[in-house]
Amino acid sequence: MDQLIYAAPAAGVLALLYAFWKAAWVRKQDAGDDTMKDIAALIQEGAMAFLKAEYKVLAVFVAIVAGLLAVANTGEGRSPLIAVSFVVGAVASGIAGWAGMRVATNANVRTTAAARTGLPAALDVAFSGGAVMGMTVVGLAILGLGGLYIAYTVGIFPGIAGLGTSITVLTGFSMGASSIALFARVGGGIYTKAADVGADLVGKVEAGLPEDDPRNPAVIADNVGDNVGDVAGMGADLFESFVGAIIGAMVLGLGFDVLNQAHGEHTISPVVMPLVIAAAGIVCSILGTFIVKTKEGGNPQHALDTGAFGSAGVMAAATFGIANYMWPQGGALVAGSTDPVLWWEVGAATVIGLVTGVSIGMITSYYCSMEKPPVDSIAEQSKTGYATNIIAGLGVGMRSTALPIIVIATGVIAASAVAGLYGVAIAALGMLSTTGIQLAVDAYGPIADNAGGIAEMSHQKPEVRERTDKLDAVGNTTAAIGKGFAIGSAAMTALALFAAFAQTAGISGIDISKPIVMGGLFIGGMLPFLFSAMAMNAVGDAAMEMIEEVRRQFREIPGLLEGTAKPDTARCVDISTKASLKRMIMPGALAIVTPVVVGFGANLLGDKMGPEALGGLLAGVTVSGVCMAIFMSNAGGAWDNAKKSFEGGGYKMSDGTVHPKGSEAHKAAVVGDTVGDPFKDTAGPSLNILVKLMSVVALVIAPLIA
C-alpha cells in the first residue's frame, strides 16, 4: 500500500491539466471592446513587468542560499542535495505565481465583458481565473514534493542513506517555497498599497474623483497591485503553507516504530500518508469547482461557499477511507509512547483541521462583512471624524483575535488528544487539503475588483458596473476569509514544523524557566512588531512618493481633471515597482537570518543551548505573530467594508440620518480604509509567512545545531 505514493505526482499532473484547460477556456472568452482591451493590456503589462523585475532579484537570492545550503550539508547524515530541493521549491512557487498572474490578468477584462450579458457568466469567468491559480499552486506543490520524494528514496541520487535523510533533504523544498512566499507577499503588498494609498488620498479625498476614475494617474498601478499582492502573493503564501503542512507531518511520521522492522510490522505509511491526503484534496477541490454556479439576481457568495464547503465535506469522508486503508493494523506507536495511534484517530485529526479552518473563515467573515455589527460600528463612528473611525477599527481588530485564537487552541488540543503531535500536523494538513478551491475562491476577488475598475474606466453601462460591484463586494469578504484561513493554517503549520524541529534537533521539550529559552521567547515575541514596522514604513515611504506624483500630475498636466488629457500611468507603475523591490529586502532578510544567528550563536554558550534558544524564539514568534496577523488583517478588512458601506446609496446611521458618498463621514471612512490597507494587504498577511518561514529555517538547520 506504500505504492500509493505515486498518487501524489499523478494528482499534481491532474491539477495542472485542469488548470491548463481552464486557462484555455478563459482566453477564448470575449475580451470586450478596444478600450477595455487597452486598459487590460496596461494592467497585464504592469503586473508582468513587476514579476519579471522581482524574479531577477530573487534569482540572485536563491543562488546564494542554495550555495550556502550545499556547503553546510556536506557531512554524515546530511546531503548537499537539500540545495536542489530548495531551488525546486523556489522555482515551483515562482512558476505558480507567474501562471496565476497571467490568467488573472486575462480573466479580469473578460469578466467585465461577461458582466454585460449577466451575473452568472461574469462569476463563471472570474472564478475560472481563480481556479487556475488554485490548481496550479497545489499541482506544482504536490508534483514537486512527490517527485522529489520518489527520486530520493528509490536511489536515483547517491549519498542519501535512509528514509530520515531523504525527508531531511526534502525540507529544503519547503524552505525554498517559504522564502519566495515572503518576498512575494512583502514586495507585492508594498506595491499594491503604495498605489492604493496614492489613488485614494489624492484622487478620492482631495480631488473628489470616484473609485477607478480614468483621470486618476494611480488607478492602473492600483489595479496592477491587486494582482501582484492578492493573486501572486496569496498564491505563494498558501503554496508554502500547503508544502509546510505536508513536510511537518512527514517528519513527525518518522517517529513511529512501524518504520523499524525490529518492532514487527514494517510500513512507511505515516510518512507517505500526508502526500496521499494532499492528493485526495486536489481531486475533491476539482470536483468542488463544478458546483460553483449562480443565477441572475442570486448571491455569488452562496455559490462560492457551496463549492468550498462541499469540497471540505467530501474530503472529510475521503480521509477516513485513506486512513483505514493505509494505517497499520492495530495502530502505530510513537517512540517512547505506550498508547498506539489508530486509523480513525488520524481521520478525526484531519476533520478537526477542516472544522477549525471553516470556523476561522466564518468568524473572519463576521468581523469583516458589510451589514454586520463590527463593520457597522466603524461606519457609525465615522460621522464624528477620522479619529473615531480609526479608534473603532483598531478596537474591532483587537477584539477579533479572541475567537480565532480560541478556535486554534481548541483545534490543537483536540488534534493532539486523538493522535499526538502527528495529529496536530495532520490537522494542519486537513485544513489545507482543499487549498485548490480555497485559493480559487480567494483569487476570484482581485479578478472581480479589476473587472469593476475596467468597467468604470471604459465607461460601461451602469448595470455592468452594478454586476461587477456585486462580484467585488463578495470578493472583499472572500479575501478577508482567505486571509483568516491563511493565518489559521499558519498557526497549525508552524506548530507542526515546531514539533518536527524539536524531533530533528533531539530535544524533548522547552523549559521556559531557563534564561536562554526565555531570552529566545522575548526576541521571538518582539520580531512580529519589528517586521510589521518595516513593512508599514516601507508602504508609508512608497506612498509618499506616489502621493507627490499624483499631485504633480493633477497640477502640471493641463486638462487632466477635466478629462481632456490622459494621465502618465506608467510613471506611477514605475514608482510602485522600484519602491517595493528596494524595500522588501530587509524584512525578508530578518526572517531568514534571525533563526540562524540565534541557533548557532546560542550554541557557543553551551551544549544544547542552540536548539533550546531557537525553540523559545519559535514559540514567541508564533504566538505573537499569529495574534498580530489576525488583528491587522481583520481590522483592515473591517475598515475596507466600512468605507464601502457609504458607496452605494449612502450609509444610514442609527439616528436615521443618511450620509452619502462624498460626505464627511465617507471621507473619514476612506482615511480609515487607507490606514487599514497596509494592515490587511502588507504587514498582516506577511506575518503568517514570517511565522512559518522561521520554523522551516529552524527545521532545515536543526541537524547542524543539534
pTM: 0.88
* pLDDT score for 136: 95
Find the helix packing angle between 219-227 and 163-198, rounded to 10°.
Answer: 160
Amino acid at 447: I
* pLDDT score for 622: 93
Is residue 265's pLDDT more than 60?
A: no
Nearest Cα to Cα of residue 441 among 235, 228, 278: 235
Burial of 462 (0-12, 13-18, 19+ CB in 10 A): exposed
* pLDDT score for 587: 86
Of 57-66, 121-130, 424-433, 478-487, the poorest mean pLDDT is in: 478-487
* pLDDT score for 467: 87
* pLDDT score for 682: 85
Interval 88-93 mean pLDDT:
94
Nearest 5 degrees, angle CA 356-CA 361-CA 367? 125
Looking at per-residue confidence, does 102 or 299 come out higher?
A: 102
What is the count of structural domains for the chain? 1
- Summarised one tens digit per residue, pLDDT across range 345-387 is 999 998 999 889 888 888 988 998 888 899 999 999 999 989 9
* pLDDT score for 263: 43
Other CB atoms within 10 A of residue 318 CB? 18
Q: Phi/psi of residue 32, each to 5°?
A: 85, -165
What sign for the dihedral angle of Cα 357, 180, 448, 293?
negative
Q: Is 341 helix (H, G, I), strand (E, B) or coil?
A: strand
Interval 309-332 mean pLDDT:
88
Nearest Cα to Cα of residue 122 among 289, 296, 282: 296
Of 276-290, 406-420, 515-529, 592-606, the poorest mean pLDDT is in: 592-606
Who's near 277: CB < 8 A, 6+ residues apart?
319, 322, 350, 426, 429, 430, 433
- Summarised one tens digit per residue, pLDDT across range 174-226 is 999 988 888 888 888 888 888 888 887 787 778 778 777 888 888 888 888 87
Q: Is 507 helix (H, G, I), strand (E, B) or coil?
A: coil
> What is the span of the domain harbouring residue 42?
2-705
* pLDDT score for 262: 42
- Summarised one tens digit per residue, pLDDT across range 533-565 is 998 898 888 888 888 888 899 888 888 888 788
Average pLDDT, the chain: 87
Is residue 337's pLDDT more than 90?
A: no
* pLDDT score for 224: 83
Q: Is 580 within 8 Å of 50 (Cβ atoms)? A: yes
- Summarised one tens digit per residue, pLDDT across range 3-27 is 788 889 999 999 999 999 999 999 9
* pLDDT score for 476: 66
Q: On the CB side of 317, how many CA atoms lie within 13 Å of its CA?
A: 7
- Summarised one tens digit per residue, pLDDT across range 574-623 is 888 888 888 888 888 888 899 999 999 888 887 778 889 999 999 999 99
> Taking phi first (over 0 means left), then psi (-120 to 50 degrees means alpha), and beta for anything else, what does residue 94 get?
alpha
Is residue 168's pLDDT more than 90?
A: no
> Taking phi first (over 0 means left), then psi (-120 to 50 degrees means alpha), and beta for anything else, what does residue 656 get?
left
**Alpha-carbon dihedral 316, 318, 320, 321, rounded to 10 degrees:** 170
- In whole angstroms, give the CA distance from residue 568 to residue 419: 59
